[in-house]
Amino acid sequence: MSILDVLKPPGSRVPVPVGCALEIVDLPAPDQVLIPLEYPGQILFRPLVQAGDEVACNQVIGRSEHGNFIHASISGKVVELKTMWAARSFHVPAVVIEKNDTPPLVGDELLRQCDIDPQSATRVDLLRAAGVVSPWTTPGHNDSEVDIEDYPEIIQIVIKGVNQEPTICSFRLLLRTRTEEVQEALRRLAEIIPQARILLAVSKAEAEWASESFSDLAEVVPLSNDFRGRIERQYVGRLTGIKVPNNASYRSGGVAVISVEQLLDMYDALEGRPCIRKTVTLSSSRDFQPVTVRTVVGTSIGDLLASQNLVVEDGDRVIMGGPMTGTAQFTLETPLSKFQAGVHVLKAKDIVADTNLICVNCGRCTRACPVNLQVHLIGRCVEFDQFDEAQLYHPTACIECGLCAFVCPAHRPLLQMVKMAVNFRG
């Protein structure tokens, strides 16, 4: 943070993103992967393999009730099926695979293993067979997988070309390094959904370059460098003019929101490549130049950090995601899933511990809140177990951006308190 930041309102003091190296490092597959059989809190997969099975890379290992699939990201032997805590602290089943030299599945095999006839396969079949989850197949937090069929037609598509978290630059780099594929993917998207308006949100620094490259394929929208301008729920609502409840899928408003990475995954799926790789930015609060790597889904955080010589010591905080909304991990065994775009290590020296100090009613949280919640009151209600009272302040509208806790001078865990108000109601 610069010294001049004190002149800004507290809610605008989130450090702006630093420049990333303009390349994505491809990592070799690790010796062992742990693949969680779920999309966070949404779709649960039934395992199709058991301990002792030999699997090939790209082989389907899990199937959901509704016909979505999850793939082995390396070839090898299934060592065990176990339960684990996923990155966002859901308890889920998972498959452990140890690497061997079996050749990967390719071509029509990919479709046949999903009971799809290669001759008559539709585009949705191709996407499903490749394990791509959006935007046609992702339900909202409160919806079941089946609800997808009742969603209205897609009229607007927002493509995230910039990450919300300041430490993560994977979307930006994908846009830069795979420009031609993105262009081709946008063309395909316009073919598949001709009626939709396509918006591409990019960072302000790249607005000029992006509008040169993509202006004939999508409306290029620059987002400010300020964290407030990059909060996804905020800018999607602003750009599309459609407000979707925070606990529901964008799809219920006819809006599809996907990242550049998911767009490229869809493109790959149509080209017959399953979605088994993931781009993540590794960063640390000290002595480490942020680096963006591409690796297979299921790689543990420990392997990822070790590959870049990012040392984690006892007492550090390892965060899946970014520092504003990410989840602290209690073990380095947590695998990378398709939904985390970054790992941030907060060194012990830089940690500001949460406290249970009294709220002094300074109101910074409430004034920083992008959705105008009375955060200070919700926090106090929760502190004294008044969960019914807390409902009067509409905690369900929270978009979990983390700004309230960021600005709190008493270092109260405010976001956690709002989440409790949501979860313990009634």
Partner 1 sequence: MNPDAPQSKFNIAASSHWRDGSSLPGIQLTWLLALLPAIAAGMFYFGFAGLRVVALAVVASVVAEMVWNALVPNRDFASNYSCVTFGVLLAFLLPVGASWWLVVIGSVLTVIIGKKLYGGWGAYPVHPVALGYAVLAVSWPSRLDYTESLVGQAWSVTMVEPMRLVKTLGASAQVDFNLVDLFLGRQVGGVGNALVLWLLLGGLFLMLVREIPWQIPAGGILGVVACAALLGLVAADRSVGPVFHLLAGSTVLMIFFLAPEHTTSPVNPWPMFLYGLLMGTLLVLIRTFSVHVDGAIFAVLLTNFCSPLLDRITPSVVGREVQDVA
Q: Which stretch binds partner 1 (CB under 8 A): 31-39, 98-106, 181-189, 311-319?
A: 311-319
Question: What's the rounded Cα separation, in Å, for the pair 74 and 417?
Answer: 40
Contacts 24+ apart (CB under 8 A), 134-139: 134/256, 134/258, 134/262, 134/266, 135/250, 135/251, 135/256, 135/257, 135/258, 135/262, 136/256, 137/66, 137/68, 138/39, 138/42, 138/249, 138/251, 139/42, 139/43, 139/249, 139/251
Among 19, 28, 103, 315, binds partner 1 (CB under 8 A): 315
Q: Which stretch binds partner 1 (CB under 8 A): 155-163, 184-192, 216-224, 322-330?
A: 322-330
- Neighbouring-strand partners of residue 165: none
Which of residues 202 and 312 has its CB atom nearest to partner 1 in the complex?
312
Contact 265, 189 (CB under 8 A): no
Question: What's the rounded Cα separation, in Å, for the pair 71 and 57?
Answer: 8
Q: How far is the CB of 11 from partner 1 (least distance, A)?
A: 9
Contact 411, 355 (CB under 8 A): yes
Q: Which stretch binds partner 1 (CB under 8 A): 61-69, 76-84, 271-279, 327-335?
A: 327-335
Q: Which stretch binds partner 1 (CB under 8 A): 24-32, 67-75, 254-262, 316-324?
A: 316-324
Q: Which residues, 6+ apart, have CB-to-CB distance to 125 below 8 Å?
A: 111, 114, 116
What are the C-alpha distances in Å from 317 to residues 283, 355, 364?
12, 17, 26
Would you give the binding string for partner 1 spanning residues 384-403, x where CB under 8 A is met?
Answer: ---------xx-xx-xx-xx
Residue 314 binding partner 1, by CB under 8 A:
yes
Residue 148 binding partner 1, by CB under 8 A:
no
Question: What's the rounded Cα separation, in Å, for the pair 378 and 372?
Answer: 12
Residues 2-21 within binding reach of partner 1 (CB under 8 A): 6-10, 13-15
Residue 351 binding partner 1, by CB under 8 A:
yes
Query: Which amino acid is it at 155?
Result: I
Q: How far is the CB of 133 from partner 1 (least distance, A)?
A: 23
Residues 280-299 within binding reach of partner 1 (CB under 8 A): none
Which of residues 105 and 345 has its CB atom nearest to partner 1 in the complex?
345
Residue 113 binding partner 1, by CB under 8 A:
no
Q: How far is the CB of 337 from partner 1 (least distance, A)?
A: 17
Which of residues 160 and 376 has its CB atom nearest to partner 1 in the complex?
376
Count of residues interacting with partner 1 (CB under 8 A) = 76
Question: What's the rounded Cα separation, in Å, for the pair 178 and 263?
Answer: 11
Would you give the binding string for partner 1 spanning residues 356-385, x where CB under 8 A is met?
Answer: xxxxxxxxx-xx--xxxxx-x---------
Among 30, 229, 326, 342, binds partner 1 (CB under 8 A): 326
Which of residues 7 and 101 has its CB atom nearest to partner 1 in the complex?
7
Torsion over CA: 131, 246, 233, 198 (sign) = positive
Residue 424 binding partner 1, by CB under 8 A:
no
Which of residues 160 and 364 has its CB atom nearest to partner 1 in the complex?
364
Chain centroid to Cα 376, Å, comes to 28
Q: Which stretch binds partner 1 (CB under 8 A): 27-35, 103-111, 194-202, 238-246?
A: 238-246
Q: How far is the CB of 367 from partner 1 (least distance, A)?
A: 7
- The residue among 72, 35, 70 whose CA lies nearest residue 55 is 72
Query: Which amino acid is it at 98?
Result: E
Would you give the binding string for partner 1 spanning residues 208-237, x where CB under 8 A is met?
Answer: -----------------------------x
Question: What's the rounded Cα separation, in Å, for the pair 227 and 326?
Answer: 14
What angle do the packed helices 170-177 and 179-192 form, to 10 degrees?
A: 90
